């Protein structure tokens, strides 16, 4: 990974995030200064990075904050919060869009049918254990009727994910599906155009970018169960494994 930070790209991503999430809002005529817009979140990320030595207790503190969070409407409709779980020192983090019904019931990410497929990908295809990686979502509470999370919900919840990523410090992030990919890369490009190639995720303006591989969400694979789609996900995971220096199991 190139240690040099492309500040222009970071700046553009922050501006695009503002554009992307405020597409339906009336905008001020004043130019947006990203440093001002992002200040509270920046501070949280900075604090999280400084607490990397105590990742387990910081992650459990974060989970308690999520449990008490009512920053968006999803807090009032959820059964259980689903902060995320896995290896606190994981080199690989999977990020989905939000919990579904099974996850909402159990308070754990990816435990329904999609979760079973994700687990198969991690264990059978990649030769890892679920406990080797960290699994979480963009929003920590279930959107009703499994709808996509709304922009205001994503904005409210994103600081939790950024803190998790700052604490864990993964080498690679796999963004599962379009909403997760669009959020983390601040882009509207279709997942079909982005998957298959590493992208860069910027936690803030000073940290080096984290490699991000967009791929199909397991629920999409289940709905469109074809050899072609499965092969594409396998190709994506092979690239991830190569990036992590892991041996690719023979298929």
Does residue 97 bind ligand SF4 (CB under 6 A)? no
Q: How far is the CB of 177 from ligand SF4 (least distance, A)?
A: 17
**Residue 159 or 170: which CB sits closer to ligand SF4?**
159
Segment contacting ligand SF4 (CB under 6 A): 74-82, 104-112, 163-171, 235-243? 74-82
Q: Is residue 82 within 8 Å of 104, Cβ to Cβ?
A: yes
Does residue 71 bind ligand SF4 (CB under 6 A)? yes
CA–CA separation, 11 vs 207, rounded Å? 13
Q: How far is CA 218 from CA 4, 83, 159, 177, 206, in A?
A: 33, 19, 25, 8, 33
CA–CA separation, 71 vs 188, rounded Å? 25
**Residue 104 contacts by C-beta under 8 Å, 6 or more apart in sequence?**
78, 79, 80, 82, 141, 142
CA–CA separation, 208 vs 202, rounded Å? 7
Interacting residues with ligand SF4 between 147 and 166 (CB under 6 A): 153, 156-157
Q: How far is the CB of 16 from ligand SF4 (least distance, A)?
A: 21
Q: How far is the CB of 49 from ligand SF4 (least distance, A)?
A: 21
**Residue 77 or 193: which CB sits closer to ligand SF4?**
77
- State both tokens at 130: 């679920």
Q: How far is the CB of 107 from ligand SF4 (least distance, A)?
A: 12
Q: Enumerate the β-bridge partners of residue 86.
A: 134
Q: Residues binding ligand SF4: what is the number (CB under 6 A)? A: 14
Residue of 66, 172, 194, 203 interacting with ligand SF4 (CB under 6 A): 66
- Residues near ligand SF4 (CB under 6 A) are 66, 69-72, 74-75, 81, 139-141, 153, 156-157
């Amino acid at each position: 990974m190139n240690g040099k930070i492309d500040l222009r790209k970071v700046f553009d991503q922050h501006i695009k995030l503002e554009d992307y999430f405020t597409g339906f809002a009336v905008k001020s005529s004043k130019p947006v200064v990203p440093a001002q817009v992002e200040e509270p979140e920046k501070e949280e990320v900075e604090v999280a990075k400084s607490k990397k030595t105590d990742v387990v207790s910081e992650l459990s503190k974060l989970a308690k904050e999520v449990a008490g969070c009512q920053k968006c409407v999803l807090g009032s409709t959820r059964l259980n919060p689903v902060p995320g779980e896995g290896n606190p020192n994981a080199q690989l983090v999977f990020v989905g869009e939000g919990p579904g019904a099974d996850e909402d019931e159990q308070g754990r990410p990816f435990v329904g049918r999609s979760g079973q497929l994700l687990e198969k990908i991690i264990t059978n295809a990649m030769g890892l254990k679920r406990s080797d990686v960290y699994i979480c979502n963009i929003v920590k509470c279930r959107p009703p009727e499994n709808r996509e999370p709304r922009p205001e919900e994503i904005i409210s919840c994103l600081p939790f994910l950024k803190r998790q990523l700052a604490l864990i410090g993964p080498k690679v992030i796999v963004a599962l599906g379009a909403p997760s990919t669009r959020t983390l890369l601040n882009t509207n490009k279709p997942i079909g155009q982005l998957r298959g190639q590493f992208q860069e995720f910027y936690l803030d303006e000073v940290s080096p970018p984290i490699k991000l591989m967009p791929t199909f969400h397991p629920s999409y694979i289940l709905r469109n169960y074809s050899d072609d789609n499965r092969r594409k996900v396998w190709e994506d995971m092979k690239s991830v494994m190569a990036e992590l220096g892991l041996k690719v199991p023979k298929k």
